[in-house]
A and B are shown apart, each in its own frame.
Chain A
């Protein structure tokens, strides 16, 4: 019998249900249409219909169904037809209801009554909150200092559109919309080289998958969308998976080969591989000559200095392995090399990322089936009337047209505020937690506490995060399960698609979606700004996709409401190698291995290996500290979920067994970890799966706000589960950003998360 369930939805609801009881699964007629999906109540056996929406826990943006029972969300499952997640979602997605029904959610606007951070609040009305914010913004207007408004939000298509529109209408350029800390490096390297923000590895069709510092089985921009395709490629195409990583991650632990490389030296390995490929005539000369801006001869000459022997000396990977992997990679096409935070979140991240792109380019895997593909996605258009976009001088927004990134990196923004280069009148953060997620989080915490530097601070959030706790006013935001949004994640089917998020239930309490909050503020600020937000949320979203004709013909937003996603089904097989017709989105129209823009700014124009000083001069008893994300938590937003924190709530320090023996450490012993910024104490987890020169620790632990669960404390509430926190004794671990100092990439200015050198002492 064919696979049942998903595609086998019983016709006629309950009648079909009765038929099937006791009978073979899957009997009954099949409805070919994929939506709506059904689910069944465990106790009452009532049929539930799924409301299609989109998960925004992480940037993978999977299509999900929310199943409700008497108006309460009870289950989340993936949307079958969604071209990326194909009916699946991860543990964080499944645990979305913990976030929605969090007992400690903020449900009314709050105003600080004590000093900043004291934790004394009073509930106020929306009217009062909006009036206070508007009066502060009007003060800035009167002083003609609109640029002193900074609005920080996460990178997501609709949120960016709304926030930027408001900021343009108000007259401040300082909408800080890049993704998380550290991603600037990857984005910069990608834009410089081929004009896109990130790559889509078409791993499903690959024969050889090479990972550098990437851990798709646990955490990646595309997480399960990428991971499940790697699994498919391995089991169905017998693709080989090879991982270079300092730590044995879930991915490297399941790879065919794992090479523990010295931290920060991946680039030299990649360049040596490129050298082998060029020298042995395995390169795609046609691609290099016609579609890149360097000649094969010049490239071969440039690469000849990076020999496998040199790579061995620097990275610790035997030359023979470098040669072997290079040969396999170049000959088992299609192949793809994928980078991850492990290499781009170093201070040489931009250069290293460019090396990975070079490896994919010289083997002719660029935008090829099974290779390293251009992201295919839709852009949203700014609906009419469009604000003029008149902006004043800013220290953190790049106004020159040739800058690759729109605004300063998050690290630079904090730095500019700290040093007084960017004056702040009003700071608004939306679902963003800089106090927790910045390096040197204690320093950042002091900055946000300082009322002279940040005179007025508004946090828009659903939870009392470390950042919201320091706000003057907290506005309750609707979570992703209660608001409308449009997404267009880079497509793995190579056919761009739109994914839609709609409220599964009405916003709880008095919480409001970001659109309605911004709308209220603009209305209060007067008709000059209010006119840009006159329409309703749905109309606004409809207008922002009205340029996609075929979607409008299919019913526009109403079609999305029904199915949750849309793509043009009538198109032929997706064409690869788009660049053959259109070229690349760079000044030369070519794949820029040589970057004139980097040379102009005084950087090395070629993909290169830049040694990181502190890491290469290693003294006795020092280790490189590597923070890592786990598979059940996002970077900072899931810690208050009982379902997820039960699985992972604390973070012992990973240390190599041979080192542990030297220090006489046993599992669970306490150590002191000292960096130049400070010290923490934590337990150790002794493992064979880590480079001896590295210690590693998980992120999203050690919260000091956010709620009881995030702090591993049980409490009495209307939900009996909140008093069953059995891991109270184990504690919630330690937040590693306390000892990670700010360290920026020389080119991309993104945080070098992996560059901290620490000493370990047994306590």
Chain B
């Protein structure tokens, strides 16, 4: 983690011991951000493992990792993608030309073209809500409270404590993107991008 002293750095922990795959996050995100049909900024991947009768099911909610070192930002030819001081990665709708370079470069496949506006959009940790002191919509709505959002640089925040106390995983750490969405108790197979979606 790059140490930006006294600066806020937002991140999210998804505690998969609590996730029940109810899709409330997917729907509340769509309503909050007016995401049209056909694309999602946050969704739940469901993976089934094992052989009858020893079968398990795992869930993996996916959203933009708002990486510390976002590849999408480096690749944007018109500087439409930029990173705020607090780490949130944003696409400027006025600059984006819809060339999809960022979509191609994103290792997590979390960017999409808005079918109505024809520009690239993604999860922004609901920065409009965060700026007003509210939680992102998916965190606010998660019924079992599996999503925890907050300041990674504040050692007293709930998220920092969780990260300190639990083993966490990130998606594709080998890409060197330094994702800011952490998972607790994520299933290894569910994290495999080629795992079958049931």
Point out residues on A near B: beta carbons under 8 Å: 1-6, 8-10, 16-17, 20-28, 38-42, 45, 47, 74-78, 87-91, 94-95, 97, 217-218, 224, 227-228, 231-232, 234-235, 248, 250-251, 253-254, 258-260, 631-632, 642-644, 646-647, 656-658, 685, 687-690, 692, 720-721, 724-726
- Interface residue? B172 (CB, 8 A): no
Cα–Cα distance between A76 and B30 once the two chains are bound (Å): 12
Nearest CB of chain B from residue A715's CB, rounded to whole Å: 13
- Whether the Cβ atoms of B27 and A91 lie closer than 8 Å is yes
> Which residue among B33, B36, B85 has the maximum number of chain A CB atoms within 10 Å of its CB?
B36
- Interface residue? B116 (CB, 8 A): yes
Give per-residue flags for B28-40: 1 if the beta carbon is below 8 A from chain A beta carbons, else 0. Answer: 1011111011100
A-binding segment of B64-72, B101-109, B136-144, B174-182: B136-144
Nearest residue, chain B, Cβ from A644: B27
Nearest CB of chain A from residue B140's CB, rounded to whole Å: 6
Pick from B17, B85, B86, B151: contact of A1, CB under 8 Å: B151
Q: A24-B151, A689-B52 are in contact. List 16 more A-B contacts (CB 8 A).
A: A17-B132, A25-B130, A25-B133, A38-B132, A40-B132, A74-B31, A90-B143, A94-B141, A224-B22, A227-B144, A231-B145, A253-B55, A254-B20, A685-B198, A688-B48, A724-B37
Nearest CB of chain B from residue A658's CB, rounded to whole Å: 7
Chain A residues within 8 Å of B78, by CB:
none
- Whether the Cβ atoms of A45 and B143 lie closer than 8 Å is no
Pick from B31, B86, B141: contact of A78, CB under 8 Å: B141
Chain B residues within 8 Å of A726, by CB:
37-38
- Whether the Cβ atoms of A88 and B141 lie closer than 8 Å is yes
Cα–Cα distance between A692 and B52 once the two chains are bound (Å): 9
Q: Which 6 A-B pairs have the closest CB atoms?
A: A253-B57, A231-B144, A217-B20, A224-B143, A5-B135, A91-B27
Chain A residues within 8 Å of B85, by CB:
22
Cα–Cα distance between A1 and B154 once the two chains are bound (Å): 7
- Whether the Cβ atoms of B128 and A45 lie closer than 8 Å is yes
Cα–Cα distance between A20 and B32 once the two chains are bound (Å): 20
Cα–Cα distance between A636 and B48 once the two chains are bound (Å): 27
Point out residues on B near A: beta carbons under 8 Å: 8, 15, 17-18, 20-24, 26-28, 30-34, 36-38, 48, 50-53, 55-58, 85-86, 115-116, 128-135, 140-146, 150-151, 154, 156-158, 198
Cα–Cα distance between A74 and B37 once the two chains are bound (Å): 17
Given known contacts A88-B142, A94-B24, A656-B52, A39 and B37 CB-to-CB distance under 8 angstroms: no
Chain A residues within 8 Å of B129, by CB:
39-40
Question: Can you report 5 A-B residue pairs in the complex whose CB atoms are below 8 A from each other?
Answer: A94-B27, A228-B145, A231-B20, A248-B48, A726-B38
- Whether the Cβ atoms of A4 and B135 lie closer than 8 Å is yes
Nearest CB of chain B from residue A686's CB, rounded to whole Å: 10
Chain B residues within 8 Å of A250, by CB:
20-22, 57
Pick from A218, A235, A656: contact of B18, CB under 8 Å: A235
- Whether the Cβ atoms of A20 and B133 lie closer than 8 Å is yes
- Whether the Cβ atoms of B156 and A642 lie closer than 8 Å is no
- Whether the Cβ atoms of A26 and B48 lie closer than 8 Å is no
Cα–Cα distance between A313 and B53 once the two chains are bound (Å): 17
Chain B residues within 8 Å of A227, by CB:
20, 22, 143-144
Nearest residue, chain B, Cβ from A93: B24
- Whether the Cβ atoms of B31 and A218 lie closer than 8 Å is no
- Whether the Cβ atoms of B27 and A658 lie closer than 8 Å is no
Chain A residues within 8 Å of B23, by CB:
91, 631-632, 647
Given known contacts A75-B32, A657-B52, A24 and B154 CB-to-CB distance under 8 angstroms: yes
Chain A residues within 8 Å of B150, by CB:
1, 4, 25
- Whether the Cβ atoms of B24 and A89 lie closer than 8 Å is yes
Pick from B8, B52, B57, B145: contact of A254, CB under 8 Å: B57
- Whether the Cβ atoms of A253 and B48 lie closer than 8 Å is yes
Interface of A is mostly: mixed
Chain A residues within 8 Å of B156, by CB:
1
Cα–Cα distance between A26 and B135 once the two chains are bound (Å): 10
Cα–Cα distance between A250 and B143 once the two chains are bound (Å): 15
Nearest residue, chain B, Cβ from A97: B31
Cα–Cα distance between A27 and B53 once the two chains are bound (Å): 51
Cα–Cα distance between A4 and B158 once the two chains are bound (Å): 10
Nearest CB of chain B from residue A99's CB, rounded to whole Å: 12
Nearest residue, chain A, Cβ from B24: A91
> Which residue among B28, B37, B56, B58 has the maximum number of chain A CB atoms within 10 Å of its CB?
B37
Chain A residues within 8 Å of B17, by CB:
234-235
Nearest CB of chain A from residue B114's CB, rounded to whole Å: 11
Chain A residues within 8 Å of B58, by CB:
253
Chain B residues within 8 Å of A1, by CB:
150-151, 154, 156-158
Nearest residue, chain B, Cβ from A9: B133
Cα–Cα distance between A632 and B128 once the two chains are bound (Å): 27
Chain B residues within 8 Å of A646, by CB:
37-38
Cα–Cα distance between A646 and B15 once the two chains are bound (Å): 26
- Whether the Cβ atoms of B55 and A258 lie closer than 8 Å is yes
Given known contacts A8-B133, A94-B24, A235-B18, A688 and B31 CB-to-CB distance under 8 angstroms: no
Cα–Cα distance between A218 and B19 once the two chains are bound (Å): 12
Chain B residues within 8 Å of A97, by CB:
31
- Whether the Cβ atoms of B20 and A687 lie closer than 8 Å is no
Cα–Cα distance between A234 and B21 once the two chains are bound (Å): 16
Nearest CB of chain B from residue A442's CB, rounded to whole Å: 31
Chain B residues within 8 Å of A20, by CB:
131-133
Chain B residues within 8 Å of A8, by CB:
133
Cα–Cα distance between A647 and B30 once the two chains are bound (Å): 12
Nearest residue, chain B, Cβ from A216: B20
Chain A residues within 8 Å of B18, by CB:
231, 235
Cα–Cα distance between A647 and B43 once the two chains are bound (Å): 9
Nearest residue, chain A, Cβ from B148: A3
Pick from A40, A89, A224, A721: contact of B36, CB under 8 Å: A721
Given known contacts A40-B129, A94-B27, A657-B52, A88 and B143 CB-to-CB distance under 8 angstroms: yes
Chain B residues within 8 Å of A259, by CB:
53
Nearest CB of chain A from residue B120's CB, rounded to whole Å: 17
> Which residue among A4, A22, A39, A258 has the maximum number of chain B CB atoms within 10 Å of its CB?
A4
Chain A residues within 8 Å of B31, by CB:
74-76, 94-95, 97, 643
Cα–Cα distance between A312 and B55 once the two chains are bound (Å): 21
Chain B residues within 8 Å of A88, by CB:
24, 141-143
Nearest residue, chain B, Cβ from A90: B24
> Which residue among B18, B134, B154 has the maximum number of chain A CB atoms within 10 Å of its CB?
B134
Nearest residue, chain A, Cβ from B23: A91
Chain B residues within 8 Å of A687, by CB:
48, 198
- Whether the Cβ atoms of B51 and A688 lie closer than 8 Å is yes
Pick from B52, B132, B141: contact of A688, CB under 8 Å: B52
- Whether the Cβ atoms of A218 and B22 lie closer than 8 Å is yes
Cα–Cα distance between A479 and B133 once the two chains are bound (Å): 32
Nearest CB of chain A from residue B190's CB, rounded to whole Å: 12
Chain B residues within 8 Å of A4, by CB:
133, 135, 150
> Which residue among A5, A38, A45, A87 has the maximum number of chain B CB atoms within 10 Å of its CB?
A5
Chain A residues within 8 Å of B158, by CB:
1-3
Cα–Cα distance between A95 and B141 once the two chains are bound (Å): 12
Nearest residue, chain A, Cβ from B20: A217
Nearest CB of chain A from residue B9's CB, rounded to whole Å: 11
- Whether the Cβ atoms of B57 and A725 lie closer than 8 Å is no
Chain B residues within 8 Å of A688, by CB:
48, 50-52, 55
- Whether the Cβ atoms of B134 and A39 lie closer than 8 Å is yes
Chain A residues within 8 Å of B55, by CB:
248, 253, 258, 688-689
Chain A residues within 8 Å of B141, by CB:
77-78, 88-89, 94
Chain B residues within 8 Å of A38, by CB:
132, 134
- Whether the Cβ atoms of B128 and A40 lie closer than 8 Å is yes
Nearest CB of chain B from residue A408's CB, rounded to whole Å: 35
Nearest residue, chain B, Cβ from A8: B133
Nearest residue, chain A, Cβ from B126: A42
Cα–Cα distance between A42 and B133 once the two chains are bound (Å): 13
Cα–Cα distance between A42 and B93 once the two chains are bound (Å): 14
